[in-house]
């Protein structure tokens, strides 16, 4: 099955659910950025959070997640929108750490301490900006804290990436369960108990469970509002690469012509190279 995302409700609309199966997207990110398993897990978890948060938006609204930690991974940046499109990168995709004491990929060690930012472009004059200190570095807990503190919405967030011995992504998925007004203490307690006993998301996906079946393990009956395909999508283009060169100024472009005779602009998000020969650079310089 191709990557997809569901929006759903449960318990008579008092719980809102988002869940995503994104193995293909995370594998594409791994290949594009030539990432180690630790970096794949970190960027993959953030990208899936971005996809689900993007599904909370409308129309042409979009968001950017920036995780600025002091760990060896550097910065994690993810862009997502309401159409199920996502892109992202990490500063140091080569980061590789020993497994943590639980025998898992040490995402927290790679991320380190710092701040998680969410910037939403809602079509207003100024974008919405929310931020929280990184509380765990494992990322699911950090997004849980973000929803509680920045959006005042009690949420349970799970994010998982399973990497095979050959570095390929075997499974990748996650969910966000949000508590809306009206839920009784007994209902909340029961949900928390089921969540505590829930197997890892990647284990359930490997077993062949659908996103609906995963959510039914926590919430019983769920009502699917919509299901949508999700995909990696970058907005870079040759014209944008040319604009980047123009922004350097005529003198810098002429120096490139003299010293190198060519230029290459590589997109951070997709690693696509855009090459310009001497003649093309001269034409760009003439426009400056």
Task: From 204, 232, 260, give the residue that closes a domain.
Answer: 232
Q: What is the pLDDT of residues 205-215, one digit of tens each?
A: 999 999 999 99
Q: What is the pLDDT of residues 206-248, one digit of tens each?
A: 999 999 999 999 998 999 999 999 999 998 999 999 899 988 8
Residues 147 and 107 in one domain: yes
Contact 88, 50 (CB under 8 A): yes
Residues 22 and 118 in one domain: yes
Burial 127-139 (b: 16+ CB within 10 A, else e): eeeeebebeebbb
Residues of the chain with pLDDT under 50: none
Task: Give the pLDDT of residue 90.
Answer: 97
Contact 263, 245 (CB under 8 A): yes
Specify the CATH number for the domain of residue 282.
3.90.1280.10
Residues 183 and 266 in one domain: no
Domain that holds residue 98: 4-232
Task: Give the pLDDT of residue 125.
Answer: 85
Task: From 210, 232, 254, give the residue that closes a domain.
Answer: 232
Task: Give the pLDDT of residue 134.
Answer: 97
**CA 92 vs CA 40, 65, 128, 132, 134: distances in Å:** 11, 17, 28, 23, 19
Residues 226 and 271 in one domain: no
Strands (DSSP E) found in the chain? 4-10, 15-21, 62-69, 75-81, 85-90, 114-121, 128-133, 155-163, 169-179, 222-229, 231-232, 262-266, 273-277
The total number of structural domains that make up the chain: 2
Residues 246 and 159 in one domain: no
* Whole-number Å distance between alpha carbons of 30 and 273: 17
Residues 90 and 150 in one domain: yes
Strand partners, 163: 169
Residues 195 and 251 in one domain: no
Sign of CA dihedral 130, 51, 85, 16: negative
Task: Give the pLDDT of residue 1.
Answer: 58
Contact 143, 159 (CB under 8 A): yes
Residues 206 and 254 in one domain: no
Rg (C-alpha) for the chain, rounded Å, is 21
Residues 223 and 245 in one domain: no
Task: From 232, 257, 276, give the residue that closes a domain.
Answer: 232
Specify the CATH number for the domain of residue 97.
3.55.30.10
Residues 224 and 86 in one domain: yes
Task: Give the pLDDT of residue 155.
Answer: 96
Task: Give the pLDDT of residue 79.
Answer: 97
Residues 273 and 199 in one domain: no
Residues 133 and 252 in one domain: no
Task: Give the pLDDT of residue 65.
Answer: 98
Nearest CA among 2, 163, 18, 171 for reference residue 82: 18
Q: For residue 209, report the phi and psi dihedrals to the nearest 5 degrees.
A: -70, 145
């Amino acid at each position: 099955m191709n990557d997809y995302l569901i929006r759903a409700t449960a318990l008579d609309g008092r719980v809102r659910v988002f869940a995503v199966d994104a193995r293909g997207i995370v594998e594409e990110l791994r290949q594009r950025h030539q990432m180690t398993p630790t970096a794949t897990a970190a960027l993959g978890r953030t990208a899936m959070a971005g996809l689900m948060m993007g599904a909370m938006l409308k129309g042409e609204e979009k968001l950017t997640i920036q995780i600025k930690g002091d760990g060896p991974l550097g910065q994690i940046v993810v862009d997502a929108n309401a159409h199920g499109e996502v892109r992202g990168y990490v500063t140091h995709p080569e980061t590789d750490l020993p497994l943590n004491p639980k025998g898992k990929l040490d995402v927290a060690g790679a991320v380190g301490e710092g701040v998680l930012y969410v910037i939403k472009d809602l079509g207003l004059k100024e974008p919405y900006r929310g931020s929280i200190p990184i509380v765990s570095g494992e990322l699911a807990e950090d997004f849980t804290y973000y929803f509680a503190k920045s959006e005042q919405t009690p949420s349970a967030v799970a994010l998982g990436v399973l990497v095979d011995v050959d570095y390929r992504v075997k499974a990748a998925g996650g969910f966000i369960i949000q508590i809306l007004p009206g839920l009784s203490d007994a209902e909340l307690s029961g949900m928390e108990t089921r969540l505590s006993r829930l197997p890892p998301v990647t284990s359930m996906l490997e077993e062949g469970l659908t996103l609906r079946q995963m959510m039914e393990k926590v919430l019983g009956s769920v009502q699917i509002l919509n299901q949508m395909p999700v995909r990696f999508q970058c907005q870079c283009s040759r014209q944008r690469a040319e604009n980047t060169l123009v922004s350097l100024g005529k003198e810098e472009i002429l120096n490139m012509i003299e010293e190198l005779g060519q230029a290459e602009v590589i997109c951070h998000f997709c690693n696509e190279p855009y090459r310009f020969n001497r003649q093309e650079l001269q034409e760009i310089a003439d426009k400056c």
